[in-house]
Structure 1
């Protein structure tokens, strides 16, 4: 069931700005950016139950890159879903430390990535990003190779499902 409530506050995320994203609180136009919505960056200790922090961050980086390239607006607002989970900041940092280190490379990658004019759909963009991830980040950490492969596999699945809808 789709959420029909409206967000109390909305702002436009400026072009070339990065954005936080939560797999719990997200709304998007499936036809436009669905292929970019994937939790590809899976760390060894994460992803057992739900999307974890680094998966959300990576997905946000990819989605924003795709939207900027395709000149699609991105909005952010107050979340629909509130979580009351409380945990230890130290424990969270220990758990996320590998991802925090990876984000230094990922952020620089996204900041310098320029997609080609021939990428005119989210599918095109995701496939081009996957190639660049493998080429530019693959040698820094194996998780990036896995992310690139997951992106390509996701696009294959996306296309297969879309062909069933038509």
Structure 2
């Protein structure tokens, strides 16, 4: 068996055992390989952080609420479809500018099936003054146009609140 297959199996088994044992997800109890892109029982995002340069990781509960989702560990299928990594520390809108990321995030496999990840990047894009559905539409219309160009053009800016 390949090491990635063994890791995938161990993550799935750990997830099931953790959920069965705890009933509710507490970010601080999650192993680092399950932390990023998880949501606690209280509906808050779990975030992977590092204590020091030595690379010791830990999971903590953020202050960010997720509407309508609790006790959620993102699936491997969504992680792959959306182009995100469980070892992500410090999730930011910068990812939207990476080549190829928009294609994965805006793909039907991600956008239509992975509401947790889409919600996260929807909020990050909004923080930059952009509306993710418009960014994805612009990307689908012209996939060779860079996300930086789309964001800076103002073509995908969110409408001002009334």
TM-score, length-scaled by structure 2 = 0.29
Q: Which has the higher helix share?
A: 1
Structure with larger RCO (C-alpha < 8 A, sep 6+): 1
Q: Which has the higher strand share?
A: 2
